[in-house]
Structure 1
Amino acid sequence: MSTTTENAATTAATTIPTTMRAVVVHAPGDYRLETRPVPTPGPGELLLRTDAVGICASDLKCYHGAAKFWGDDNRPAWAETNRIPGHEFVGTIVAGDDDTLTKRKVTLGDRIACEQIVPCWECKYCLEGAYWMCNVHDMFGFKGYDGAMAEYVLVPAKALTHPVSSALPGQVAAFAEPLSCAFHAVERGDIKFGDTVVIAGAGPIGLSAIAGARQKNPLRIIALDVVEAKLDLARKVGADITINIAEDDAVARVKELTDGYGADVYIEATGHPSAVPQGLNLLRKLGTFVEYSVFKDNVSVDWSIISDDKELDVRGAHLGPHTWPAAIKLLETETLPMSEICTHQFPLEQFQEALDLVGDSAGASVKVSIIPALHA
């Protein structure tokens, strides 16, 4: 029988159960739906009822055991077992003490989104203001804190939160995470009005980067992909030109469009090794390459293109610092075709089907989400 959570926190009028359904990581390729206790928020913490959680390409790579997450001879492991995955989420506040609610300027029943990283606020990077590069690097769903592939999720005191309209469908509100990440990649590109910007990939991050670049209003935005339906969607979110790289030579086409020079800015959002040399070759001299993807495999390129040939500015981009309010604002304007971007929603019971769909590159999905309130 369900009972109200017993603690010093203020709780919502609705009854909070003592147990919940949650996806739990046991090992790469071994995720299971289990019953877990509902977390009890302590001082500075909030309890959310999960409205939606998106499945990211990094979730899938972690599931398949990529070294980026599980470690190898070249890097330490930072993904954890016995952890609830899910870092792209929004939820409704159902419990939290008065001081925490006041500090975060929220009330019970409000919807918030959480940034995926939970900074320590004490390391060199945090103290310098670069919290997104925190040396501890705890992150919802991977390390340090459980994520939101569950009916409830605990928001620790150190987490960063942002209000989101409850009028948005949950899967749309949760898209604030990939959208904010792509906005950061766009910021790293230092896009100017006269620029030709090429964005590789028309998946969730690529489409978000196109939408963000459109806000910068460069001369032209060119989207690259191999799926025509995704290129159609790229045009709807702001691409001026699309190129199907399975049918056309992207390097030749971009140079043709730019009087033989090449693009000013290239944003890599596919995670496919071939997209890296593609970008190096289609950029003009003194161009800017922005890398956002998480790669499953190592990438080899001719580094002399970066130095001797073109003197390129190569920049990484990580997470979505300082871009969440802008991303949420764009979603709340309802100007993006989100019903075509958020293509599939699943209940928790079908988490495996959801993961498999994200991994089907030839499938019709764009953004796949889990909605705990749904039932199979």
Structure 2
Amino acid sequence: MTQNVATPSPLPDTMQAVICHGPEDYQLERVAVPRPGPGEALVKVEAVGICASDLKCYHGAAKFWGDENRPAWAETEVIPGHEFVGTIVQLDETAAARWGVTVGDRVVSEQIVPCWKCRYCLRGQYWMCGPHDLYGFKRRTPGAMAEYMIYSADALVHKVSADLPAHHAAFAEPLSCSLHAVERAGITFDDVVVVAGCGPIGLGMVAGAAAKSPAKVIALDLAPEKLALARECGADLTINIAEENAEQIIKDLTDGYGADVYLEGTGHPSAVPQGLNLLRKLGTYVEYGVFGSDVTVDWSIISDDKELNVLGAHLGPYCWPAAIRMIESGRLPMDKICSHQLPLTEFQRGLDLVASGSESVKVSLIP
């Protein structure tokens, strides 16, 4: 049985949505409002963020990477948008029971839709699911750059406070990613932690690392305004790498040893050797950035010189409840992090703002 939201008027037949027709060919169109199937939910989108992955898909994976042999991983004729929040409009009893939600609840959904049957899913490692779907990248799971969207029957869904501004609530997705990277680092009380980059991911890393109460959290960036934001998120020290020698400063702070943990959230190739050089012997490097080109490093630093622990981090598994609590707590300067909110009609401006890298922190579209 499908539950219908009580509204003065029935659902419209059509809606506005951004459609990907190929690299750099996104169009705002009017399409049919989707209808939920068994175990699914129809959600009215309140806000959707734009991130580096959206930009990568907009330019086309091969073009973005400078490698025409690299296959595209975003399908065409799909609605983009994978970090979002919305209100449930319709769902059946199966969906309501599985997720513990009802019509009218404000909800987010994790960006990956696992199969729940592969080796990784059966071992609880759902974020590495082999045949997974991703909102906004696959036709089976259209994203949130639209007025309405469907939450898949296999999705992971979480409630969010209705008291939050919508663009703040949508930040649960990038923040969960940041917190997963922090979890991967295994931070202890005595650690000196360095975070490279003070964009949305880096700021979340700063906040997450600070919540672990290490000896010191140090943030690196080129932009003074983003370094100021990092201090508001919990950084004990900020270093403008355009003006200061980060490696020397950190070695001076650590009796010449170097940092214990380095979290990379810029996606800039130069941040990789920077991290390897900043770390002490037996230190931990965690990579989260999305790179636009191949990165070459001296692997002897990782092995013979320092015996480093080098870890990757992907998505935000098991970190969504913590991310939501952190946003709801008011501990983060969300009004400053969520710097730009635009109507759906201005999606191109939103993509351009993200591409510039210096005019915004987090850009959100409000359908």
The verdict on a shared fold, with TM-score over 0.5 as the criterion, is: yes
- 1:63 counterpart = 2:58: yes
CA distance in 2, matches of 1:68, 1:89: 26
Q: Residue 5 of structure 1 corresponds to which residue in structure 2? A: none
- 1:289 counterpart = 2:282: no
> For 2:100, which of 89, 105, 126 is the aligned residue?
105
- Could you say if the C-alpha distance between residues 242 and 147 of structure 1 is closer, same or farther in structure 2, counting changes exceeding 3 Å? same
Q: CA deviation at 1:181?
A: 0.5
Q: Residue 119 of structure 1 corresponds to which residue in structure 2? A: 114
Q: Residue 12 of structure 1 corresponds to which residue in structure 2? A: 5
- For 2:202, give the aligned amino acid: G
Q: CA deviation at 1:76?
A: 3.5
SS at match of 2:231: helix
Q: Residue 151 of structure 2 corresponds to which residue in structure 1? A: 155
- For 1:330, give the aligned amino acid: M
Q: How many residues align?
A: 364
CA distance in 2, matches of 1:300, 1:71: 15
Cα pair 2:60 2:72 within 8 Å, conserved: no
The TM-score normalised by the length of structure 1 is: 0.94
Cα pair 2:47 2:364 within 8 Å, conserved: yes
- For 1:122, give the aligned amino acid: K
CA distance in 1, matches of 2:70, 2:312: 18
- Could you say if the C-alpha distance between residues 70 and 255 of structure 1 is closer, same or farther in structure 2, counting changes exceeding 3 Å? closer
Cα pair 2:62 2:68 within 8 Å, conserved: no
- 1:327 counterpart = 2:327: no
- For 1:26, give the aligned amino acid: H
- For 2:96, give the aligned amino acid: L
- Could you say if the C-alpha distance between residues 51 and 119 of structure 1 is closer, same or farther in structure 2, counting changes exceeding 3 Å? same
Q: Residue 27 of structure 2 corresponds to which residue in structure 1? A: 32
SS at match of 1:27: coil
> For 1:51, which of 39, 43, 46 is the aligned residue?
46
CA distance in 2, matches of 1:234, 1:370: 24
- Could you say if the C-alpha distance between residues 126 and 74 of structure 1 is closer, same or farther in structure 2, counting changes exceeding 3 Å? farther
Query: Where do 4+ consecutive residues of structure 1 move more than 6 Å?
Result: 68-71
- For 1:151, give the aligned amino acid: E
- 1:366 counterpart = 2:361: yes
Cα pair 1:68 1:77 within 8 Å, conserved: no
- 1:285-324 to 2 correspondences below 5 Å: 285-324=281-320
Q: Residue 240 of structure 1 corresponds to which residue in structure 2? A: 236
SS at match of 1:287: strand
The TM-score normalised by the length of structure 2 is: 0.97
Q: Deviations over 1:246-273 (max 9, x none)?
A: 1111111111111110000000000000
> For 2:224, which of 228, 250, 261 is the aligned residue?
228
- For 1:10, give the aligned amino acid: Q
Gaps of 5+ in 2: none
Q: Deviations over 1:254-311 (max 9, x none)?
A: 1111111000000000000000000000000000000001111110111110000000
- For 2:3, give the aligned amino acid: T
- 1:155-234 to 2 correspondences below 5 Å: 155-234=151-230
Identity of aligned residues (%): 65
- Could you say if the C-alpha distance between residues 346 and 238 of structure 1 is closer, same or farther in structure 2, counting changes exceeding 3 Å? same
Task: State which drifts further: 59-68 or 113-122.
Answer: 59-68
Q: CA deviation at 1:71?
A: 10
CA distance in 2, matches of 1:185, 1:67: 26
Cα pair 2:61 2:73 within 8 Å, conserved: no
SS at match of 1:350: helix
Query: Alignment RMSD, CA only?
Result: 1.4
> For 1:271, which of 267, 286, 289 is the aligned residue?
267
- 1:351 counterpart = 2:347: yes
CA distance in 2, matches of 1:19, 1:112: 22
Gaps of 5+ in 1: 1-7
Q: CA deviation at 1:75?
A: 4.3
- 1:337-348 to 2 correspondences below 5 Å: 337-348=333-344
